[in-house]
Amino acid sequence: MPQPAAQTQPHPLNSVEIAANADYSPRTLLPLELVMRHIILAFIILSSALASTVVPATPRNVILIIGDGFDDQHVTMGRNYLSGMSGQLGLDTLAFRASVQIETVSDEGQPLYVADSANTATSLATGRMTNIGRIATDIADNDLPSIAERAIEAGWRVGLVTTSSLTDATPASFLAHVSSRSCEGPKEVLGSTYYGIPQPACLSDARDNGGPGSIVEQLVGSGAHVLLGGGDKFMKQQTVDGITVSQLAVNQGFRVISRDTAFDSLAAPQRLLGAFDEETLEVQWQGTDARIGEPVERSWLSHISKYFGSVTEPSPMSCEPNPAYRNTPRLAAMTDLALTHLATDNEQGFFLMIESASIDKQSHKRNPCGSIGEIAQLEESLALARSFASNHPETAIIVTADHAQAAQILPEPTLYANYPIAIYSPGLTARVRTPEGGMMRINYATNNGFSEEHTGANVPLFANDVAAQWLSAFMRQRDVHDAMERFLFRPENH
């Protein structure tokens, strides 16, 4: 395991954890796999050596905000509700905007046109393309080093903040390497089910088999400085050492906090780990009476032919507080906590990934108010990040999405309202009253199952001035990774 070179600024907290990074610890390897591992290890040592030559005069920070599924339909849905048809979101006032190309391949390496959050987060985290479901591993299951790992090795602090489980695909890809996103805990790494469907195991990754462990075990062993989100059910699991993951985290030097912790009372800086819900954090808003997208009600004549009868549209809904949200920590509160503990007494800087996960998760569930409330949370976190950047000049802020999602804004009423038959969506519709007095119709019609599909459009990227200098108008997702690395690890006088 590479040590930071001598000229690297000493970092009080991560030198031990770096040594404890278990990603490349020995296990039973096939000969080819062994060769590949050594090549990758050599690459890491080289890049680490290059990176560690940099000790910036001013702390250098990256804040990467990922809106999961936050494509232009969802951005516009959020804007219409939160700021009005002619209004602007906070992110609309960022100086720079670009489009990001999403890439993924099938297990056979053929191009695919729709991705998932695992392979896209892998691209953002490692600069490499991979197939669906993988966490920072390539199509041949080689581990791909991430920008977060390189940052830790070179003396930067690293934080992951998310409204999903910390073990979910997006945060996982920054600090873990497994063959499948389903391998979240010590149990799941050996196999699990989801809605009754068997999910892939990651047997060679299991610590039972001498591997680096499940996602949660790799996270707590990664040398990260701050890990805040959901996923407490994985923290409670037993490891092969006979202790819980949570205890393992304490042994690794983390202060484990809960939603009862007074965030302001924590002396900074500390290494913090908070898993504030069993899995995904509750969202702040829901539709009236917890309603989501619904089908039209067709009269009996309409069932005989679409040229007969009538349909009744779902009645309008408003967005209102979700009773289950209660004292769930806000994304902004977690962001604030992370910024405090990452930046205090830190002369080198940090890499912070903030995920607003439930834009996507609520779109899967056809719950527009859930998505919109989550976009409001992203906006609050962005405002904090910008406030921080205004006092810390070398702070690059990038907001982007990992992939496009199902929801579409449709005309209310239909463009064909004068047509003499009932025109309606074959999918599920939510008609959301907006604060400015409009009616926003959201359509979910990608499949007939229990959960909507991702879609395949390129996604937006928003950045502040500091980040914009390293970006271009059109980039592949892996180019965004490369730009962040160039910003963070560049020689001092560049």
Phi then psi for 41, rounded to 5 degrees? -60, -45
Please tell me whether residue 99 binds a copy of itself under the rule CB under 8 A: yes
Binding to a copy of itself in span 205-264, by CB under 8 A: none
The answer to whether residue 381 is catalytic is: no
Find the binder of a copy of itself among 70, 156, 276, 462 (CB under 8 A): 462
Catalytically annotated residue among 48, 52, 117, 165:
117
Q: CB-wise, 286 or 425, nearer to a copy of itself? A: 425
Q: Which is nearer to a copy of itself, 99 or 244 (CB)?
A: 99
Residues 355-414 that bind a copy of itself (CB under 8 A): 404, 406, 408-412, 414
Question: Is the Cβ–Cβ distance between 245 and 234 less than 8 Å?
Answer: yes
CA 41 – CA 400 distance, rounded (Å):
30
Q: How many residues bind a copy of itself (CB under 8 A)?
A: 78
8 Å CB contact between 418 and 102: no
Candidate list 30, 46, 95, 240; residue touching a copy of itself; CB under 8 A: 95
Distance between CA atoms of residues 18 and 55, nearest Å: 18
* Residue 470 CB, nearest approach to a copy of itself (Å): 16
Q: Which is nearer to a copy of itself, 44 or 428 (CB)?
A: 428
Stretch that binds a copy of itself, among 19-27, 68-76, 158-166, 207-215 (CB under 8 A): 68-76
Using CB under 8 A as the binding rule, whether residue 75 contacts a copy of itself is answered as yes
Amino acid at residue number 451? S
Residue 461: CB minimum distance to a copy of itself, A:
9
Site for a copy of itself (CB under 8 A): which residue of 13, 84, 250, 279? 84
> Are 169 and 121 within 8 A, CB to CB?
yes
By CB under 8 A, is residue 318 in contact with a copy of itself?
Answer: no
Q: Which residue, 282 or 360, is less far from a copy of itself as judged by CB?
A: 360
Residues in contact with a copy of itself, shown as a per-residue x/- string from 473 to 492 under the rule CB under 8 A: xx-x----------------
Q: Which is nearer to a copy of itself, 84 or 210 (CB)?
A: 84
**Among 424, 470, 487, 489, interactor with a copy of itself by CB under 8 A:** 424
Q: Which range binds a copy of itself by CB under 8 A, 27-35, 231-239, 349-357, 424-432?
A: 424-432
Which residue of 53, 238, 244, 451 would you call a contact of a copy of itself, by CB under 8 A?
451
Residue 28 CB, nearest distance to a copy of itself (Å)? 29
CB 221 within 8 A of CB 21: yes
Q: Among residues 49 and 114, whose Cβ is nearest to a copy of itself?
A: 114
CA atoms lying within 13 Å on the CB side of residue 118: 24
For a copy of itself, which is the closer residue by CB, 112 or 203?
112
Among 446, 466, 485, 488, binds a copy of itself (CB under 8 A): 446
List binders of a copy of itself among 296-315 (CB under 8 A): 306
Map tokens 């930071």 to a residue. 4
Closest CB to a copy of itself among residues 21, 434 = 434
Q: Does residue 431 bind a copy of itself (CB under 8 A)?
A: no
Residue 62 to residues 50, 167, 353, 399, Cα–Cα distance (Å): 18, 21, 8, 11
Taking the complex as a whole, the smallest distance from the CB of residue 220 to a copy of itself amounts, in Å, to 29
Question: Which residues inside 137-196 make contact with a copy of itself, applying CB under 8 A?
Answer: 195-196
The residues annotated as belonging to the active site are: 117
